[in-house]
Chain A
Amino acid sequence: MYRASDRPAAPATASDLELLRQFEPVAYFTNGEPFYPTDVDHYVRDCSLWEHYPDEHEKLLVKQGELTLEKLVEPRPAAFGTVRFLRFIENLSLTEAAQVLADQARLRLKLRNYFHAGIGRLARGGFLPRLVDGLFSLSFLLRGRVSAAAAAAAELDYYEMFKEEPKYVYYGRVTRQNGWTILQYWFFFCFNNWRSGFHGVNDHESDWEMITIYLYENGGQLIPEWVAYASHDFKGDDLRRRWDDHGELQINDECHPVIYAGAGSHASYFRPGEYQAEFILPLPSWFSGLMRTWNKFWTETLGQPAGNPFRIPFVDFARGDGLRIGPGAPQSWSPVLIDESTAWVSQYRGLWGLFARDPISGENAPAGPMYNRDGTPRSSWYDPLGFAGLDKVPPPPQALELLKSNCNKVIQHQEELEQLILEKAVELQSLGIEMKGMEGNPHLAKQHAALEKMISALGAEVKGLRRERSENTALLQGLAQQRERLNAGEQDDPRAHIRHLAEPDKPTLAFRFDRAAETWAAISLSLLLFAIAGLIFLAPHYVWAGLTIIFLLFLVAESILRAAFVQTIARITLILAMIATLILFFHFWKWIIVGALLTTGAFLMFQRLRELTG
């Protein structure tokens, strides 16, 4: 039973800041997290401003120590293809890099801020994704990347910044659309160290994260209905949870939603746990097409479970066992209001950190709350309802009115249809009688044919109208049921809108020997490379055969550790059987075709003869 009185409420006359404070979230971080939401003012003062030009050269616009938010938004005309970006960490020499890495270790020791991965991501994925992961790691040699030393320097700099101004900041925005009052909470982090700190996909300077709360007005009170957390892997309806869905959305004792922030990535999750984020390698379209065909054959024809070796598993650790910020937590927020009139929000379209020249953008810093990396407007800013799939959902008080209005429209249309069907049916009968009168008169053949055509068209029209009336009746029944439910104060299933639910990994994965599986996961790729090297050196004439056998042996070893021996053996044998089938067809295609024809012929003859004699 739905009761709005169960929820917190704020007066509709409350100021924007009061609204933001009333519903502000509580953020639970993971142990080992070095970066927390901070203010952009201090960050910008520690940055330099740069421009990257299409001819690949870069120019320093404002030096570190001289930059302010005011200077950041000064108009600076630039050519097409220019990328403006901030730089938090300047280039480090080898000695400086070694120094900051040592200082980072000392700082972590001092703060006792450690992270233990537990069952790491490598053991969660299979051998093939690990092989692709190795190639992905090697791709950093070719792609632009943010170095581990830069991440360490950022950690040290953020620590110093925090010591000077110890505060946790969110940037709050309040906007109103289609009867909804929308509260957006933007969090700015100096650095995303998911890759270097937590074995994730990427590192980049600066990070913007956001959550949104949707309120509706009822009796002069603003009541929360939906909460959406921005995510990399989900979009639209899948981003939001209903306030009363306590299985999915945690509300603390002070009635504030809880965010579980991913370690390093700072992605927001509704529930604590370790989330398997998958990075799908960008492949050429022809190859993806081939893979789809193969997968279809593999799953539908051979009945094997689907899999994609080009999907690399990464774990986003959102354990919530670290620092907590927000109402009811040891640390509290320092809110700052923003909107389109905030100059740094609307007038700076550049990146908030290093432009690492990464062609797939993972290592490039993000742009601000209002813009994408390419300077185009961010949909979560200009269309906060559509962003969470709420553009089609009216606020609850309006829903009943809209439903009534829809019902009335359909009822009115039904009445019109009834009248129309009656008129057309009479006309059809009249034409039918007329046609009957023409029969037996050969000189009326032409008129008979024309009338027949007319009757056929009118018959189709009447049939269509009757179908529409029938469909509308069903629609009316549905609307009436919905109206009854709303009148009784019942709400739909809170998860009915979710197609893909983000779920943390189950604590007990199918690992036979946890430690052995993890060790094997860590060393298997290197062992494979050593074995290949040995093969090339010791048996150069049998490289391909040896390679195949070694690869199969590795797969079997992996399957034993992952308790999937039987399935793996079946898959390997099937693949070998398919290769053997191709070879047999290549050598004996004539015999195979002749055999197939003879068998089919004999079968058909047997069937026909049985029909004849039976």
Chain B
Amino acid sequence: MARRKKNNRKKRPIAVTVIAAAIVVLFLIRLYQVFEPLIRQQVFENGIAGPLFDGWRLTDLGRALLSSVTYFVLSATGIAVLIGFLRLRRWSWVLLMSWTGISLAITLVNYFYAQRLLSSQPNYAVMASNVIIAFALNMTEVQRIFGIRRDESVPSL
């Protein structure tokens, strides 16, 4: 009789899979946001043909490049977090919760000041993904598996 391989790995709750799926969705959205401004500015066809700064202000091309680089960094971070998350690392939970918080803050500012501040429409898909991730990360079983919740008293803020 073949011996069954002993499995020492922690069991992954369904919420972790849901979060991982949400990260993938966010990654795809961010990836689109990396290329969209560059396509709009025809960077792939013409290259960086023009100045990035007009005095102290960014030109349209400069803004597009900055936006693209920012979203690229976010996408890359997302991939790193996804790997750590699937390996049930504590730091990935902390990073993901922080990232979700920052992302939610930006999305909400974008929502309330859509036209004035970021001159774009609020991204409801990102908002919804972040909401799912935030609530899933807050689940007791998820926090326990990542070693976040140890049922000890925490100083109040």
Contacts and interface: CB of A to CB of B under 8 A. Distances in A.
Given A545-B112, A587-B124, A576 B155 contact: no
B156 A126 contact: yes
Contact of B135 (A567, A572, A577, A588): A577
Interface in A258-316: 302-303, 305, 307
Interface stretch (A38-46, A54-62, A84-92, A558-566): A558-566
Contacts, number: 96
A522 interface: no
Contact of B155 (A509, A548, A569): A509
Nearest to B99: A573
Contacts of B135: 574, 577
Contacts of A549: 105, 109
Contacts of A542: 113, 116-117
Interface in B111-157: 111-113, 116-117, 124, 127-128, 130-131, 134-135, 137-138, 140, 148, 153-157
B94 interface: yes
B98 interface: yes
B75 interface: no
A462 interface: no
A480 interface: no
Interface string A563-595: 110111111111011011101100110000000
A583 B111 contact: yes
A577 B148 contact: no
Contact of B127 (A555, A569, A574, A580): A580
A69 to B, nearest CB: 49
B157 A128 contact: yes
Contacts of B130: 577, 580
Residue from B105, B108, B117, B124 having most chain A Cβ neighbours under 10 A: B105
Contacts of A581: 131
A303 B157 contact: no
Nearest to B148: A566
Interface residues of B, number: 31
Contacts of B109: 545, 548-549
A127 B157 contact: yes
A564 B155 contact: yes
Interface in A534-554: 541-542, 544-545, 548-549, 552
A334 to B, nearest CB: 45
Query: 5 tightest CB-CB pairs across the interface, nearest first?
Result: A577-B134, A573-B101, A126-B157, A576-B104, A307-B156
B97 interface: yes
Nearest to A509: B155
A570 B157 contact: no
A303 B105 CA distance: 22
Contacts of B128: 580, 584
B68 interface: no
Given A542-B117, A566-B148, A580-B104, 18 more contacts: A307-B157, A542-B113, A544-B112, A545-B109, A545-B113, A545-B117, A549-B105, A549-B109, A558-B157, A568-B157, A569-B94, A570-B148, A574-B138, A580-B108, A580-B131, A583-B108, A584-B124, A587-B124
Nearest to B132: A577
A129 B105 CA distance: 24
Contacts of B140: 303
A570 B157 CA distance: 12
A343 interface: no
A510 interface: yes
Nearest to B96: A573
Residue from B117, B140, B155 having most chain A Cβ neighbours under 10 A: B155
A569 B131 contact: no
B105 A552 contact: yes
Contacts of B124: 584, 587-588
Nearest to B95: A569
B100 interface: yes
A109 B19 CA distance: 64
B92 interface: no
Contacts of B153: 305
Contacts of A566: 94, 97, 148
Contacts of B137: 570, 573
A31 B37 CA distance: 68
Contacts of B131: 577, 580-581, 584
Nearest to A572: B101
B13 to A, nearest CB: 15
B94 A576 contact: no
B153 to A, nearest CB: 7
